Structure 1
Amino acid sequence: IVYSMSRIRLLLGFIFALLNSSALGLEYDFVTSGSVTKLMNKVYTVRLHSHDVKYGSGSGQQSVTGMNSQNDANSYWQVRSPTDEHITRGTPIKCGQSIRLTHINTNTNLHSHHFKAPLSKEQEVSAFGTDGEGDHLDNWVVVCSGKYWKRNNFVRFQHKETKAYLTCSDQVFGRPIHGQQEVMATLRDDTGSANYWKSMEGVFLKPTETPNKN
């Protein structure tokens, strides 16, 4: 198997995070740049998921769904710098900060645009790019209360370009991704909606600074 240098760097980053993470019994309160995590939806309790299956409509890009299983390796995402900024590894992510979420197994980025989602017909969310690099439509703003993205809190991800929030619909796919839930983006800003996500299983880089917990 031949891996690109970008793919190798991403895998090495995952290993580095593992060796410096809560997997060794250390506990950190904040999500930091370079950390790898699964994200659980507040309403439907599915994990944000992707895989090498393309949408049959819309953009035709790699599909993003909600997965019921907690153990599927295709639900890991790495928190990375946005396309127009560098965030040092281990830096706690601030509320209001832009990030990219890179899918570990396919090295594509969480992405959105003005194509329609296949089931709800809202805004499509896909996985896009090659070797971890895509474009400015991969940038998402972390919307949360306080100063930093805390691991135990639910947060929202607002697409920087379109202002739509990452969310789940109540609709479920058939073949070839039977039983997986539609993930899309919406402009509805409803505090009781499914546009809240929580960092769950993962490996977290030790903060490079000790932030104020407020």
Structure 2
Amino acid sequence: MFRLYAYAGLFGGNIKCCGPYLSAIQTVSPSNSNVNFLHSSKLKQSLFVSSTWFNSGAEFNVPVEIDSGWEYVTYGSNIKLANPNSASRLALTGVFYGTGSHQKAITATKDLASQSGFWVVQPPKNTVVTRGGQVSCGSTIRLLSPKENQYLHSHSSYESPLSGSQEVCGFSAESTDSNDEWLLECVEVSKKKSPQSDSKTPDHRLFWLRDYPIRLKHKETGLYLQVMPNKVFTRPIDGQIEISCAKAPTAQNGVWTANEGYYFNTARS
């Protein structure tokens, strides 16, 4: 494995990439309203790189090495959330629900190159945090789609179209409310099954760590974000999987990990 250190004016600092082969770097362009939020003096790019886009190690069947000090998911990081069981990523489509709230649909997609799967980790409205600061287990967070400038949102008023569970949709950042808030629950993992076996790895029971499983509990309704692998949409979002909220999703359907993305780190010089 080799590493590339590139200095990109777009981000105002260095970007560290690693991968089995490198030929080009493609950056993720946030909407204009979020450009300042994504600028930083230090930015970590955690992915393998192909000629057209940043790829995860899983796509190449190559283990991802997470460098010491970069294990944390941090505020301001622009990440993809994966459901390991369905091998899919949480995504905000450009398609509106035909029923329920008629807001933009949230789905799970197996298209790893989709730009719809990025989410910026933010605190609740009017809460000040340090960009690059660690996210503690039990924190209340919001997840913003930089592509659509909408938050991951749910509400008790509407049912999801395929399963009849609680609907999950995108909601405009300009109208953000408490239904955009999610409680971060870190899932207990035995040392034997730990994704990172290094004894110096931070405690996953205290902080949100990359590759470690979490659950997202909708704060207003108390239901958990889940993917429904047997509930698949047809046109116009053929093959995408329904996302909804449920009181007690299965262990496989209700678990997420932070995978591809850009990771801030204020602790690195």
TM bucket by the smaller chain? 0.7 to 0.9
The number of residues matched between the two structures is: 201
1:8 aligns with 32
Q: Aligned partner of 2:215: which letter?
A: R
Q: One-letter code of the match for 1:33?
A: Y
The corresponding residue for 2:181 is 139
Q: Quote the residue 1:20 is aligned against.
A: 43
1:63 partner amino acid: A
Q: Which has the larger radius of gyration?
A: 2
Quick check: 2:46–2:260 contact (8 Å CA) kept in 1? no
CA-CA distance at 1:172 after TM superposition: 0.3
Deviations 1:7-48 (A, max 9, x none): 43413333538x511359984000000000001012211100
Q: Counterparts of 1:82-101 in structure 2 under 5 Å?
A: 82-101=124-143
After superposition, residues 28-67 of structure 1 pair within 5 angstroms as: 28-67=70-109
Using the TM superposition, give the Cα deviation of residue 152 of structure 1 relative to its aligned residue in structure 2, in angstroms. Answer: 1.8
The offset of 1:202, in angstroms, is 0.2
- Partner Cα distance (1:196, 1:91) in 2: 23
AA partner of residue 199 (structure 1) = A
- Contact preservation (8 Å) 1:92, 1:207: no
CA distance in 1, matches of 2:103, 2:76: 25
Q: Is the 2:47–2:261 Cα contact (8 Å) retained in structure 1? A: no
Preserved CA contact (<8 Å) 1:172 1:181? yes
Q: Does the C-alpha gap of structure 1 residues 152 and 193 become closer, same or farther in structure 2, counting only changes over 3 Å? A: closer
* Structure 1 equivalent of residue 211 of structure 2: 152
The corresponding residue for 1:182 is 242
2:149 corresponds, among 107, 129, 134, to 107
Three-state SS of the structure 1 residue aligned to 2:73 is coil
What amino acid sits opposite 2:238 in the alignment? H
Task: Give the equivalent residue in structure 1 for 2:159.
Answer: 116
Which whole-Å deviations, capped at 9, do the CAs of 1:85-113 have from their partners, x for residues lacking one?
Answer: 22221110000000000011000000000
Task: Structure 2: state its 5+ residue gaps.
Answer: 1-29, 49-65, 189-204
Q: CA 1:49–1:189 in structure 2 vs 1: closer, same or farther (change >3 Å)?
A: closer
Q: How far, CA to CA, are the matches of 1:12 and 1:39 in structure 2?
A: 23
Percent of pairs with identical residues: 32
Change (3 A) 1:154 1:176: same
> Which of these residues, 207, 225, 236, is aligned with residue 166 of structure 1?
225
Contact in 2 for aligned 1:42/1:154 (Cα 8 Å): no
Asked if the contact 1:50–1:65 (Cα under 8 Å) also holds between the matched residues in 2, the reply is yes
Is the CA contact (8 Å cut-off) linking 1:49 and 1:65 kept in structure 2?
yes
Matching residue's letter, 2:172 = G
2-side partners of 1:30 and 1:207: how far apart? Answer: 11
Query: TM-score if structure 2 supplies the norm length?
Result: 0.70
The secondary structure found in structure 1 opposite 2:239 is coil
